[in-house]
Amino acid sequence: MLEEKKDNETAGDEEPSFEVDPRDFSKHWQYLKKRENLPMGAAAGAGAAIAALVIWALLIKFTGYKVGWMAIAASFGIGFAIQYFGKGVSPVFGIIGGGIAFLTWLVGNFITGAFIISSHLQNTSLVAIPAIMMCLKAAIQPVDWLLGFAAAYTAYFFGFKKVTPPQ
């Protein structure tokens, strides 16, 4: 009787299991579509992007180097955060992840430009946005654009679960 009571208590805490009948994949697809939460996924992706930008800025500040690979690392985090918290199976989750990753890459390069200019000036209050934009333009090489698009694709790829009907 005591074991029965424990089973009933824990049953309310967990999500109900859903067994997939290979002959009726549409019910399983409908179940997965009902669980999707796009606002939560987008918020999680934005949070991962902010955390990645903070880490990126700290790496630039303490190493003094342009850290391009951080864009790919950020895109992994963004994609997984969107997939995990959004529970998405639709490609729209990947598209949002790719967009957030690309914006993260742009802002990361902007931060890099700001650090480059501020390290060469004595009075950092004189740093103006046009000067940072010039440095950003000079800092982004053609290979960096490839890295930005690779980051966007990585976040797209990991932004949603690929579900295929059983064979």
- Top pLDDT among 116 and 62 is at 62
Residue 89 lies in a domain: yes
Cα(74)–Cα(58) distance, integer angstroms: 14
HSE of 42 in the Cβ direction (CA atoms, 13 Å)? Answer: 7
pLDDT digits (tens, 9 = 90+) for 4-56: 544 455 555 555 555 555 567 777 777 778 888 999 999 999 999 999 999 99
Residue 152 lies in a domain: yes
Total of domains in the chain: 1
* Model-wide pTM > 0.85: no
8 A C-beta contact, residue 18 and residue 31: yes
Residue 27 lies in a domain: no
φ, ψ (nearest 5 deg) of residue 119: -75, -20
Residue 49 lies in a domain: yes
Task: Tell me the CA distances in angstroms from 21 to 17, 27, 67, 167, one per residue in order.
Answer: 13, 9, 48, 11
Residue 166 lies in a domain: no
Query: In which domain, by residue range, is 82 found?
Result: 39-109+143-158
Write down the pLDDT at residue 1.
47
pLDDT digits (tens, 9 = 90+) for 133-158: 776 776 788 888 899 999 999 999 99
